[in-house]
Amino acid sequence: MTDDQSTGNQPRAAARPAATVRSAAVRAAAVLTVPSAAVFLGLIATGAMPALASLGAVAAVGSATYLMVRRHYAALAVLRRHLEERAAGEDPAAGPAIGGSDLAALGDVGPAAGIAGALARADRCTTERIEGLRQRAEARALVIESIPDPLLLIDSRGRVAQANREARRQFGQQIVDRDLSAVIRHPEVLATVRRALAGQPGGDVEIGIAAPVERVFNVRVESLGGGTEAGEVSALMLFVDLSSIRRAEQMRVDFVANVSHELRTPLATLLGFIETLQGPARDDADARDRFLDIMKSQGNRMSRLVQDLLSLSRIETNEHKPPSGRVDLTPLLQGVKSTLDLEARRRDMRVRLELDAVLPEAIGAEDELAQVVQNLLDNAIKYGRPGTEITVAARRADRVPASFPGGPAGKSVAIAVRDRGEGIAPQHLPRLTERFYRVDAARSRDLGGTGLGLAIVKHIVSRHRGALTIDSTPGEGSVFTVYIPAAGPGDPARGASAA
């Protein structure tokens, strides 16, 4: 059909209802005029009224009847059109079909005008209700979108009908309308979803997902009535992240196992030597002196382990509360150096301080910062090469690592401890601050290490809202750098709150 033909048909299509109203009005007027015509014909037959006057009266009654009937039929046509449009599925929110212009056209056509007004009010009420429902649906969608755990709605075909922001982040931005088996390939989860889609009770399944990072989820599957189409069944899947809980449980298990191992070895040594001294070596003075030295060493090792465990527990308890005292780092570093100078000389090593002429004070707890430097320097002495120099440098930091939460560059102090040892292979660096983690476990135990020194450093630095970086080159040595927030003019006086 051409545009001209289409345009030409529109007036004819619009004219059809008007023609229908006219023909219906003519028929109704003719029927209603018959009684009046019979009366006037009787008057003519009896000679009570002239024929011409009677015919004129009949014509007047017919015309008046036609006009009145046509007006009512027009009103009913408007109402019919409105109801047909509603029956055809027109969106009421687009505006009522009977508006002000339609009511003006109806005028005061009795019941029709009243019905039209009622329909207009019903339209407005329907529009308001639909708008209210739409706003509530948007609010619910926003709530679902904001849920911090991944959430999926599955339709009866096993496809993803809806996914919130966290689900899209975990499984991909284009997962909607994809088959669930293409998103999650876990047989037990898919079987639970199939049961839910069949109207049976859902359940919980714990799964591990390797990408984009390794995480553990508890997947809760619930069956829902009324899915994507009328009468269908859908399933709701909620993924609760258990990664931190499982990681903490594993750390607890590892911690207990490591502590048990670290204490069991020296205890077994002590018990063995005690039995020997009570038995065969009771009267052997040389063996007794040698065994007592070993027992003392093992006792000291257990004592250090217990002290480190207590220290680590105390630091972790207060880690959420940062210290606020001011610490003068120059005498602190000089004091730690003096404490460990003797141990360094025993290994034919030398400790050298490199301090800025004007070193800003740090915000922190003096005892804890001294423990940080002492642990780092003690490690440098243990693992450095004999005859080499260890450098302890402190300066205002011009640059800070991205992990530093304490403020911008220029507002922090960097303390770096450099050794000239064997260095550390790159694969070990991320795990050095784990409890009991050792690059060379046998060498560490021989040197008296507890495996907790760097873990203590990490937690103290975390409590101070600082950062720790480790740089190492195998064969050349390592540098451990601690960044601590610097004290400003408005910070508390030194020692005001150092605990």
Which architecture does CATH list for 326-485?
A: 2-Layer Sandwich (3.30)
Q: What is the pLDDT along the chain (499 residues), one digit of tens a residue?
A: 444 444 444 444 444 555 665 666 566 666 666 676 676 666 666 666 676 666 677 677 667 776 767 666 666 676 677 666 666 655 544 444 444 445 445 545 555 656 666 777 777 788 888 888 888 888 888 888 888 899 999 998 899 988 999 999 888 888 999 999 999 989 999 999 999 988 888 899 999 887 666 789 999 999 987 554 544 658 999 999 998 888 778 777 777 777 777 778 788 888 888 888 888 878 888 888 888 888 888 888 788 888 878 888 788 777 778 888 999 999 999 999 999 999 899 999 999 999 988 899 999 999 999 999 999 999 999 889 999 999 999 999 888 887 777 555 558 899 999 999 888 888 888 888 888 777 776 565 566 567 788 989 999 998 898 899 999 989 889 999 999 998 876 555 443 333 3
Domain ranges (residues) in the chain: 3-130, 148-241, 246-317, 326-485
Using CB atoms within 10 A of its CB, is residue 317 exposed (0-12), middle (13-18) or buried (19+)?
exposed
pTM across the whole model:
0.50
Paired with 336 in beta bridges are none
Residue 407 is predicted with a pLDDT of: 57
* Residue among 493, 486, 266 at smallest CA distance from 394: 486
* Residue among 60, 68, 62 at smallest CA distance from 32: 62
- Judge contact between 463 and 372, C-beta under 8 A: no
Ramachandran assignment for 438, one of left (phi > 0), alpha (psi -120 to 50 degrees), beta (any other):
beta
| Rg (alpha carbons) of the chain, rounded to whole number | 46
CATH class held by domain 246-317: mainly alpha
CATH for 148-241, among 3.30.450.20, 3.40.50.300, 2.40.128.20, 3.30.230.70? 3.30.450.20
Distance CA 25, CA 28 (A): 5
Residue 10 is predicted with a pLDDT of: 42
Paired with 274 in beta bridges are none
